[in-house]
Amino acid sequence: MNEEKTHGSMVAGETQPRGHEAIRAALRGLTDAPGVYRMLGPKGEVLYVGKARALARRVAAYAKPAGHSPRIARMISETATMMVLTTRTETEALLLEQNLIKQLKPRYNVLLRDDKSFPNILLTGDHPFPMLTKHRGRKTRMGSYFGPFAGAGAVNRTLNQLQKMFLLRTCSDAEFEGRTRPCLLHQIKRCSAPCTGQISREDYARLVREAENFLSGRSTRIQETLAAQMARASAAMEFERAAVLRDRIAALTQVQAVQGVNPRGVAEADVIALHLDGGQACVQVFFIRANQNWGNRDFYPRTGAGADEAEILEAFLGQFYADKTPPRLILLSHPIENEDLMADLLTQRAGRKVEIAVPKRGEKAELLEGAARNARESLGRRLAESLAQGKLLKGLAAAFGLPAAPRRVEVYDNSHIQGAQAVGAMIVAGPEGFEKGQYRKFDIRAVEMTPGDDFGMMREVLTRRFRRLLKEDPDRRGSGWPDLLLIDGGAGQVSAVAGILEGLGIADVPVIGVAKGVDRDAGKEEFHRPGTAQPVALPRNDPVLYFVQRLRDEAHRFAIGAHRAKRAKAVSATPLDDIPGVGAARKRALLAHFGSAKAVARAGLEDLKAVEGISDALAQAIHDRFR
């Protein structure tokens, strides 16, 4: 890459140019080399990131006064300066553009708002008897990974069928080593019980190969092989073995019947269909692996009015596969502008050829038609839900005298047991419902706080939350500032929260406390506002009341979940957690070798050195730590 340059900067004593004038100033000195450009606002904020095969020609298009969509016209009018970076190749420009969009999240770019990872099935390769398990995250463990699946439900259903068909273990290595007799899964014919020697290593390896073939799409001969084995077992009067084989054949037949809609001519592909309606977009992704449909997921990228199908799909592909391995084939409902560049980029990421196609007929077109139908129906449901949510937010504003319907409502709650493992929680709701990607939990850090001090916990949570907001977005230009705070509590909590905000110099964020009311009965809630003596009550059948109850209950659920997770972690904690160099893997190795943390503490230096993965220096550190 060449050096990045800023164009269109202001000369001392002059008024800073805006819009077309600023872009024309940026054109001076640009060449037709490939690269990436950034549109910057008057305060240096990034408005838009784009790539170009030829920078000068692409930027010159923005300098024209007409021919732009409303979204791009607004972006041009706000542009004060530009930054450009030339690259060696067009593919390199595309990669840089996608990285910058993901990092900077510019206001006028198409943004993928859901970047959660997808689960896989892992067949471990670091144990004599491999385990079949669900896996999410980085692929660090040795073994074969199969996926992605659209969600945990799809993985669990597949694992359930694989247990019936191949009888592979799903227990952890520690459970495997500690078994002295077969578990319940063996009794119900879901596991071959290698932990207690019920199956030989060679026979178990054959089951593993069959499972790999099935998950890889090479399953045509598995049923024939099982049928032949069942016939031989029956002829040899090994009726118990024949019954097991019969059950495996039945499970395989059931899977094939359920998956009758799966494509025969498409072994591995992502089917991606887009539907646009009223400036809103839904992208539906179907995962086809091993000639099987492994589920689908819908996405709702932020588009801004005016983005067309080609721009949305190209941005989606670049961001969706930023941290995921693309399949060999990607089927699209609409063509994209830079199909060749995107295919080159995804080929580099996958380490093998990736093809992008927009089929018009045949089985692939039928797959896209189904995905497009799902996208259309999903977007319709979302728009209907957004309409209902908008009405509730307007009702919330009317009920509590807010100047406008809030677009971001933050709800806070605490959870603890007599002050132990205290956690604060924040959930967020807006026009599109609960925004779970914005949820936050806060480990209470104040050691001098009285156990169970809810006021003190709320003070710490809100202080940390709003100090960070003031630091990151003091001018409130982003979407992170709330329009309303809901607090689980009465007049005392509301007064305390108002004091916290006032101390931080924040006086314009409304606060409402939700108190249980008479007899602590749902439906009799009382609502408190700072500076008002009397609480407000809503009619028992008011939809706004039900809406607030749902918000409060969601915050309570999230807070309790965070508290339970923290408590479970504390219960499983050992003195080994505090030793530098002892991570999760070495902790497991030590506990598996010695049986308990107390035994590790009593172990001699030579015994510690004998544990796999423990170096002499680390063994000395562990030995010294306990003495």
Q: What does the pLDDT look like over 275-294, one tens digit per residue?
A: 988 778 999 999 998 878 88
Block residue for tokens 């510690």: 608
pLDDT at 627: 73
Tell me the residue type at 503.
G
Domain 409-569 in this protein, CATH class: alpha beta
Bond into 128 cis (ω within 30): no
584: which residues sit within 8 A by CB, 6+ positions away? none
DSSP-derived secondary structure letter, 75: H
d(C-alpha 558, C-alpha 358), whole Å: 42
pLDDT at 12: 37
pLDDT at 355: 94
Q: What are phi and psi of 483, to 5 degrees?
A: -95, -15
Q: Which CATH architecture has domain 5-104?
A: 3-Layer(aba) Sandwich (3.40)
Parse the chain into domains and list their residue ranges.
Answer: 5-104, 120-258, 268-306+321-380, 409-569, 575-625
Block residue for tokens 């809901």: 486
Spans in the chain with pLDDT lower than 70 = 1-16, 114-115, 217-224, 226, 248-262, 304-305, 417-420, 446-452, 517-523, 569-575, 577-578
d(C-alpha 46, C-alpha 469), whole Å: 19
Considering just the CA atoms, what is the radius of gyration of the chain in Å?
Answer: 30
Is 176 in contact with 164 (CB distance < 8 Å)? no
Is 192 in contact with 186 (CB distance < 8 Å)? yes
Q: What are phi and psi of 58, to 5 degrees?
A: -70, -45
C-alpha distances in Å from residue 80, one per residue of 23, 66, 319, 527: 8, 18, 27, 46
Q: Which CATH architecture has domain 575-625?
A: Orthogonal Bundle (1.10)
- 3-class secondary-structure state, position 285: strand
Is 482 in contact with 466 (CB distance < 8 Å)? no
pLDDT at 332: 96
- 3-class secondary-structure state, position 14: coil
Q: Please state the length of the chain.
A: 627
Q: How far is CA 382 from the centre of its chain?
A: 19
pLDDT at 258: 44
- The per-residue pLDDT for range 510-548, each reduced to its tens digit, is 999 988 766 555 567 889 888 777 888 888 788 899 899
d(C-alpha 281, C-alpha 299), whole Å: 8
